[in-house]
Amino acid sequence: MKYMILVYASQRDYDAMVGKPAPGEPGWSGAEFAALGQFMEQFARDLAESGELVDTRGLTAPSQARRIRLANGAPVVTDGPYAEAEEVLAGYWIVECDSLDRAAGIASRLASVPGPEHVRARAYADVRPLAESRHELDG
Amino acid sequence: MCPEPGTRIEDLLRDVAPQVLGALARRYGHFDLAEDAVQEALLAAASQWPADRIPASPRGWLITVAARRLTDLLRSEEARQRREEAAARQVPAGDSLAAGAGAPPDADDTLVLLFLCCHPALSAASQVALTLRAVGGLTTAEIARAFLVPEATMTRRITRAKQAIADGGAEFTMPEPGERAVRVTAVLQVIYLIFTEGYASTSGPSLLRPDLCAEAIRLARMLRALLPGDAEITGLLALLLLTDARRPARTSPGGLPVPMAEQDRGKWDAARIAEGTALVTEALRRGPPGPYQVQAAIAALHDEAPTAQETDWPQILALYEVLMQASANPVVALNHAVAAAMVHGPRVGLDLLENVGADQRIAAGHRLHAVRANLLEMAGDRDAARHAYLRAAELTASPPHQRYLNARAARLADQAS
């Protein structure tokens, strides 16, 4: 089975990470930022070596996003559609393993991700089984 | 060819791969099927040779196995296409193949192969993928990993590229002499693209990706060995070596970009600098230089300076002026403005940037704003510099670059208060 592990962040989180924290919030130190990058590389490398990694990507800041929706039947594009504090998808891993428990076990390793304590305290990851075909969604 | 003792099987296979494909395609045509057949022969060798031993003539072994496989492939096409039945019958039996396989490698085959992979009918992405597979001997899976696309996507890209060559009626023959220069330029561009893809990604999770910089340098060496008299090929090889030499110093241990002026020059690769400098010196002796030679000469001037302060900026500015006359490339114009600022002062550079910013392609990217910020800082205009750094940070999607630019902005804010 394939599972997707998803993590979330707001524009404010992205800004704090790249050295532009909101007033009153502590930012990320250079050491914390470097440690995050190294952790994520190692996490992906371990999954690749165990043969469980299918694909992984980080997503760029929500300010770079565009939203497309219909207005009177025609597609309309909006730049940067998210509010500053709104949490959006920030990255994902697709893993192939035997069970949801195993996938959750993999995701639990993310609990040791380095970063400022207040960011770690509110961070979470979701694990969701992927449908392999349309029929699985017909149920 | 007898393998050198201690040669890694993988390297050996990749060195002979284009010769094998070249020999096959020249003899039997059917470039697309020949390419598949060679890939299968390479896989067979990779799994069989370590267990047995490397054959006395690896090239002959591979040609024999690939030709047999090609016969099979052509026969299975028979049912669909009558005319290929005739071609399949022309493939001689094993014995005569082995005899032919012992003949010395024909260097022209590899060259024809390079021209075919960089055929003008193909998109740049297809040229790159096909060159890496057919000439570089990388597997589809490795190429897919290098470009971070699914293997199925890369398989389709390569299949379509081969189909486009077949549809266009391109044959496995040397282009006419009058066409050669244009085709060499296309090959140089593909090699350069492979290098820049590798260079841009070196701060990412690089351990999972094949080293495209090394691959581009290997291809440039191969091309230079085939056409040693072509000064632009020598110029490109020099440029790649002189650029790659700085790679160990261009990111901090934490993964942040380090601008050239702040790099630890002790980490630069002295052997690459020496080789690149010798090559560009040799190329420049041959007459009016092409753009790769000029860029290599600029890179050599940077690499040879013991400190950033000792950089020969007047000479670099003169070389950028040569490049500006050759092409109206906005990236060249940006670097020209920097060189002018280093020689004549930041205000001169800033004036030149006004014109560069008129180009929408460059105004939408972060580089123009980062350069402007740097020159404004040099000019002492801290507030404007800070805003330009912040604007540049907004325009790049790369977190390490954002961190670097935001830190520069923050430093100016601290100094102001």
Last residue of a domain, one of B46, B81, B105: B105
Suggest the residue from B151, B154, B406 to mutate for an interface test with chain A (most A CBs closer than 10 A).
B406
B123: nearest Cα among B172, B168, B180: B168
Q: What is the pLDDT of residues B160-174, one digit of tens each?
A: 999 888 888 788 888
**A71 pairs with which residues across the strands?**
A74
Q: What is the pLDDT of residues B76-121, one digit of tens each?
A: 876 666 655 555 555 544 434 443 444 445 668 888 999 999 998 8
pLDDT attached to residue B86 = 53
Distance (Å) from the alpha carbon of A52 to chain B's nearest alpha carbon: 14
CATH of residue B363's domain is: 1.25.40.10
Last residue of a domain, one of B85, B105, B125: B105
Q: What is the pLDDT of residues B195-244, one digit of tens each?
A: 988 887 654 444 456 688 999 999 999 999 999 999 999 999 999 999 99
A 25-84 residues with CB < 8 A to B:
30-31, 33-34, 37-38, 40-41, 44-45, 48, 55, 60-61, 63-64
Q: Is the pLDDT of residue B48 over 90?
A: no
Suggest the residue from A2, A13, A18 to mutate for an interface test with chain B (most B CBs closer than 10 A).
A18
Residue B321 lies in a domain: no
pLDDT attached to residue A118 = 87
Residue B247 lies in a domain: no
Interchain CB distance below 8 Å, B207 and A45: yes
Residue B127 lies in a domain: no
Q: What is the pLDDT of residues B231-289, one digit of tens each?
A: 999 999 999 999 999 998 988 877 778 899 999 999 999 999 999 999 999 999 987 89
Residue B231 lies in a domain: no
Interchain CB distance below 8 Å, A45 and B406: no
pLDDT attached to residue A47 = 92
Pick the CATH number of A2-138 from 1.20.1250.20, 1.20.200.10, 3.10.105.10, 3.30.70.1060: 3.30.70.1060
Q: What is the pLDDT of residues B316-375, one digit of tens each?
A: 999 999 999 987 788 899 999 999 999 999 999 999 999 888 888 788 889 999 999 999
Distance (Å) from the alpha carbon of B317 to chain A's nearest alpha carbon: 34
Q: Which residues of B touch A45 (CB under 8 A)?
A: 205, 207-208
Q: What is the pLDDT of residues A38-83, one digit of tens each?
A: 899 889 889 988 999 998 889 999 998 999 999 999 999 999 899 9
ipTM for the complex shown: 0.80
- Each domain of chain A, given as residue ranges in start order, spans 2-138
Residue B343 lies in a domain: yes
Q: B21 lies in which domain range? A: 1-105
Interchain CB distance below 8 Å, B254 and A37: yes
Q: What is the pLDDT of residues A75-130, one digit of tens each?
A: 999 998 999 999 999 999 999 999 999 999 999 999 999 999 988 998 999 999 99
Kindly indicate the confidence band of residue B314, based on its pLDDT and cuts at 50, 70 and 90: very high
Last residue of a domain, one of B105, B122, B154: B105
Number of compact structural domains in chain B: 2
For residue B230, how many C-alpha atoms fall within 13 Å in the half-sphere facing its CB?
21
Q: What is the pTM of this model?
A: 0.81
Helix (H) or strand (E) holding A135: helix A134-138
